[in-house]
Amino acid sequence: MRDFAMSGLQTMNENIRHNGKIEHKEGDRILVRIVQQSACAGCHARAVCSVAESKVKLIEIVDKSGKFKENEDVIICGRSSLGLLAVLFAFVLPLVLVISMVVIAIRLGWGEAAGALSGLLSLVPYYSILYLMRDKLKRKFVFTLEKQKNNL
């Protein structure tokens, strides 16, 4: 049982790694393009399947090393615990907020429609606060770059 707990702990301390390409570099700010693919993107039938999808994301990374250049293939690294924190801020807390507001509004006798509307409207201040805290969150969610082996 102890080995199982330790292996889970090691997984939490591992880094998330994702291949990307440097789109733009200005000073110490680097814009990296990554392609986020669904789990079935490696399937041979993905061309005819409507489930498979991929999304292009741009990630801004601060790197003061000066060893990266535009159009270079890189690896973006981040702590896996940051992924869990991002899920908490993006999905769990808003869901709890909406459900709480709906329940409170219905208990106050506002009705289901007004409860649903109050739940949705409660997201406006939540995401406004996240937006106002974006600089603090940028310092918390730090990503680093590594050169891909084929670039060495």
**Number of Cβ within a 10 Å radius of residue 42:** 9
| Average pLDDT of the chain to the nearest whole number | 83
pTM of the model: 0.65
pLDDT in tens, 66-90: 899 999 999 999 888 888 899 999 9
Which residue, chain included where needed, has tokens 């709480």?
A: 100
Confidence of residue 139 (pLDDT cuts 50, 70, 90): confident
Q: In sequence order, what are the beta bridge partners of 30?
A: 25, 61
Q: How far apart, in whole angstroms, are the C-alpha atoms of residue 58 and residue 35?
A: 9
Give the pLDDT of residue 73: 93
Which range of residues forms the domain containing residue 108?
2-151
**Number of Cβ within a 10 Å radius of residue 82:** 15
Which strand (E) or helix (H) includes residue 110?
none
* Helix-then-strand count for the chain, H and E: 6, 5
**How many domains is the chain built from?**
1
pLDDT at 148 over 50: yes
